[in-house]
Structure 1
Amino acid sequence: MAKPLLEVKNLRVSFKMYAGEVQAVRGVSFTVDKGEVLAIVGESGCGKSVTAQTLMRLVPSPPSVIKEGSSIVFDGEHEIAKMSESQMQHIRGNEIGMIFQDPMTSLNPTMTIGAQITEGILKHQKVKKSVAMARAEELLTLVGMSNAKERLQQYPHELSGGMRQRVMIALSLACGPKLLIADEPTTALDVTIQAQIIDLMRDIQQKTDTAIILITHDLGVVAEMAHKVIVMYAGKVVERGTLDEIFYEPRHPYTWGLLRSVPRLDSDKNVELESIPGTPPDLYAPPVGCAFAARCPYAMKVCQEIDPDHFVIHGDHTAACWLNHQDAPKVEMPVGIGRGAHG
Structure 2
Amino acid sequence: MGKPILEVNNLRVSFKMYAGEVQAVRGVSFSLNKGEVLAIVGESGSGKSVTAQTIMRLIPTPPSYIKEGSSVLFDSKHEITKMSESQMEKVRGQEMGMIFQDPMTSLNPTMTVGAQISEGIRKHQKVSKSEAMQRAADLLTLVGMSNASERIHQYPHELSGGMRQRVMIALSLACQPKLLIADEPTTALDVTIQAQIIDLLRDIQQKTDTSIILITHDLGVVAEMAHKVIVMYAGKVVERGTLNDIFYNPRHPYTWGLLRSVPRLDSDKNNELDSIPGTPPDLFAPPVGCAFAARCPYAMQICKEVDPEHFELSADHSSACWLLHPDAPKVDIPVEVGGRSHG
Alignment-derived partner of residue 337 in structure 1: 337
Q: In the TM superposition, what is the alpha-carbon distance from 1:3 to its structure 2 partner?
A: 1.0
Where do 1:214-233 residues align within 5 Å?
214-233=214-233
Alignment-derived partner of residue 101 in structure 1: 101
Q: In the TM superposition, what is the alpha-carbon distance from 1:253 to its structure 2 partner?
A: 0.1
Partner Cα distance (1:198, 1:139) in 2: 17
1:308 aligns with 2:308: yes
Alignment-derived partner of residue 212 in structure 1: 212
Partner Cα distance (1:337, 1:105) in 2: 37
Q: Report the more deviating stretch, 183-192 or 326-335.
A: 326-335
Q: Is the contact between residue 230 and residue 237 of structure 1 (CA under 8 Å) also seen in structure 2?
A: yes
Q: What is the CA deviation profile of residues 61-99 of structure 1, one whole-angstrom value per residue up to 9, with x for unaligned ones?
A: 000000000000000111001000000001101000000
Gaps of 5+ in 2: none
Partner Cα distance (2:231, 2:239) in 1: 5
Alignment-derived partner of residue 80 in structure 1: 80
1:21 aligns with 2:21: yes
Alignment-derived partner of residue 68 in structure 2: 68
Q: What is the CA deviation profile of residues 155-201 of structure 1, one whole-angstrom value per residue up to 9, with x for unaligned ones?
A: 00000000000000000000000000000000000000000000000
- Give the alignment's TM-score, normalised by structure 2: 0.98
Alignment-derived partner of residue 57 in structure 1: 57
Partner Cα distance (1:248, 1:271) in 2: 23
Where do 1:267-282 residues align within 5 Å?
267=267, 273-282=273-282
Alignment-derived partner of residue 138 in structure 2: 138
* Partner AA of 2:197 in structure 1: I
1:334/1:271 Cα in 2 relative to 1: closer, same or farther (>3 Å)? farther
Q: Is the contact between residue 309 and residue 321 of structure 1 (CA under 8 Å) also seen in structure 2?
A: yes
* Partner AA of 1:127 in structure 2: V
SS at structure 1 position matched to 2:93: coil
SS at structure 2 position matched to 1:144: coil
Gaps of 5+ in 1: none
Alignment-derived partner of residue 156 in structure 1: 156
Q: Is the contact between residue 117 and residue 171 of structure 1 (CA under 8 Å) also seen in structure 2?
A: yes
SS at structure 1 position matched to 2:166: helix
Partner Cα distance (1:262, 1:149) in 2: 41
Q: In the TM superposition, what is the alpha-carbon distance from 1:33 to its structure 2 partner?
A: 0.3
Q: What is the CA deviation profile of residues 87-112 of structure 1, one whole-angstrom value per residue up to 9, with x for unaligned ones?
A: 00011010000000000000000111
Q: What is the CA deviation profile of residues 279-333 of structure 1, one whole-angstrom value per residue up to 9, with x for unaligned ones?
A: 0000000000000000000000000000000000112200000000011000111
Alignment-derived partner of residue 169 in structure 1: 169
Where do 1:292-331 residues align within 5 Å?
292-331=292-331
Q: In the TM superposition, what is the alpha-carbon distance from 1:265 to its structure 2 partner?
A: 2.1
- The aligned length equals 342
Alignment-derived partner of residue 147 in structure 2: 147
User: What RMSD in Å do the two structures reach over aligned CA positions?
Assistant: 1.2
Q: Percent identity?
A: 82
1:248 aligns with 2:248: yes
Partner Cα distance (2:46, 2:162) in 1: 27
Q: Is the contact between residue 268 and residue 341 of structure 1 (CA under 8 Å) also seen in structure 2?
A: no
- Give the alignment's TM-score, normalised by structure 1: 0.98
Q: In the TM superposition, what is the alpha-carbon distance from 1:271 to its structure 2 partner?
A: 7.2
